């Protein structure tokens, strides 16, 4: 495929804000457009699909000045005018994939397509009131009080990065869509989010996998206040489904395209098997414990930013809840005094506002 790296373009202001754009034609007529994001992974892969009469964009980045500048660069380099965009397809509601969809719709007039389940989630989560729900979730799982305000501020900032929100045309599991001159099947693969979908092109063996399968890192599988119970169980089921596809090329939401889909799915399933054993051993040795205490042992120094704190907590709760579902662990409600028994340095109660004070702690222990 053709790589177009670090060439000059006419968007001087865009270069300063977003850096130089490295476009890559990863499949005939399919271009990877890396969009800078204010998150640990630094970039998200958006894709531009060229068709006989126009273009389809898949995923968008956060709505930030840097993302706008990068899209301006991509449009200029690919020769895309606003009226040339036929559709914007969003694979899931996370802000690095959904955030700039409304801005792109305003600029191009194109319909924004997203799975109907994910549309419901986006409407619930990307509103200021949802910040309180996450604050209560964090309190239930033992997050220290001093992190409550910074986490709430981060959540509120993210809400601003998905504004304006688009008018969405919902799509359903099993639909066939004509995007960028190809026929794609919409496959529902819950786990990373409840309504995440991948796009499968069976004639060429091409999979737009977004965050379902990543090549060098494990997708974050998080429990949360709006998530369906047992997201890890759903993700493992989706891995089995996707791993059977006869893919020739996989286009992920982060990092580089790859070819061995079945092998990567097996590696991810094995990763979670080992992680579940590790979580179970931590609880057996120190229980009853909060998810926050378990996360500290699992991730330790990796929890160095607020984003990583959220990822670590959500991932830990997802693994704990899977073990509860399997009967390998049990969960009980406890007050602050009981929570402190699991590790005073992590769970010592401090001053609380009313919303956190009224939330009982959840403690995990070996199943009986």
What is the percentage of the chain residues whose pLDDT exceeds 70? Answer: 89
What is the pLDDT at residue 347?
A: 36
Q: In this predicted structure, what is the pLDDT of residue 7? A: 30
Question: Which pLDDT score is estimated for 356?
Answer: 56
* Type and span of the H or E element at 329: strand 329-334
∠ at Cα 234 (60, 193), nearest 5°? 20
Q: How far apart are CA 128 and CA 157, in angstroms?
A: 10
pLDDT in tens, 250-284: 999 999 999 999 999 999 999 999 999 999 999 99
Share above pLDDT 90 across residues of the chain, in percent, rounded to a whole number: 80
How confident is the model over 235-255, as pLDDT tens digits?
999 999 999 999 999 999 999
Query: Given a cut of 80, is residue 8 above it in pLDDT?
Result: no
- pTM higher than 0.75: yes
| HSE-up (13 A, CA, CB side) for residue 74 | 31
Q: Which CATH architecture has domain 3-126+162-259?
A: 4-Layer Sandwich (3.60)
Q: Residue 223 and residue 74: Cα distance in Å, rounded?
A: 35
- Identify whether the C-beta of residue 96 lies closer than 8 Å to the C-beta of residue 39: yes
**Strand bridging mode 112-115 / 361-366:** unpaired
Which uninterrupted H or E stretch holds 290?
Answer: none
Rounded to a whole number of angstroms, the distance between the first and last alpha carbons of the chain is 56
Q: Is the pLDDT of residue 349 over 60?
A: no
* Averaged pLDDT score across all residues of the chain: 89
**Phi, psi dihedral angles at 309 (to 5 degrees):** -60, -45
Model confidence pLDDT, tens digit, residues 100-151: 999 999 999 999 999 999 999 999 999 888 888 999 999 999 999 999 999 9
| pLDDT tens figures, 37-86 | 998 889 999 999 999 999 999 999 999 999 999 999 999 999 999 999 99
| Angle formed by the axes of helices 148-160 and 306-325, nearest 10° | 100
């Amino acid at each position: 495929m053709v790589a177009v790296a670090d060439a000059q373009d006419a968007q001087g202001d865009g270069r300063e804000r977003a850096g130089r754009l490295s476009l890559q034609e990863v499949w005939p007529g399919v271009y990877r457009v890396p969009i800078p994001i204010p998150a640990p992974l630094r970039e998200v892969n958006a894709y531009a699909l060229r068709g006989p009469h126009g273009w389809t964009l898949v995923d968008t980045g956060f709505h930030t000045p840097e993302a706008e500048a990068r899209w301006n660069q991509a449009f200029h380099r690919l020769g895309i005018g606003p009226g040339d965009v036929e559709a914007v397809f969003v694979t899931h509601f996370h802000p690095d994939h959904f955030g700039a969809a409304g801005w792109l719709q305003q600029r191009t007039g194109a319909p924004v397509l997203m799975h109907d389940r994910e549309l419901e989630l986006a409407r619930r989560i990307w509103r200021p009131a949802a910040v309180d729900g996450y604050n209560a979730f964090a309190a239930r799982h033992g997050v220290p009080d001093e992190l409550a305000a910074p986490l709430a501020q981060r959540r509120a900032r993210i809400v601003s990065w998905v504004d304006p929100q688009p008018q969405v045309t919902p799509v359903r599991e099993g639909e066939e869509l004509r995007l960028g001159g190809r026929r794609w099947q919409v496959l529902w693969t819950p786990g990373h989010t409840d309504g995440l979908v991948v796009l499968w092109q069976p004639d060429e063996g091409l999979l737009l996998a977004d965050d379902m399968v990543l090549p060098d890192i494990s997708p974050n599988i998080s429990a949360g206040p709006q998530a369906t119970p047992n997201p890890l169980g759903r993700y493992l089921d989706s891995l089995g489904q996707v791993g059977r596809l006869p893919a020739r090329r996989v286009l992920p939401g982060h990092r580089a395209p790859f070819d061995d889909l079945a092998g990567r799915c097996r590696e991810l399933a094995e990763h979670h098997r080992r992680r579940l054993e590790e979580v179970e051993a931590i609880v057996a040795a120190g229980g009853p414990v909060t998810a926050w205490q378990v996360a500290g042992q699992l991730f330790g120094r990796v929890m160095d930013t607020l984003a990583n704190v959220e990822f670590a907590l959500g991932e830990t709760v997802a693994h704990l809840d899977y073990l509860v579902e399997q009967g390998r662990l049990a969960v009980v409600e406890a007050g602050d005094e009981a929570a402190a028994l699991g590790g005073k340095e992590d769970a010592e109660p401090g001053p609380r506002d009313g919303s956190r004070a009224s939330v009982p702690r959840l403690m995990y222990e070996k199943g009986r």
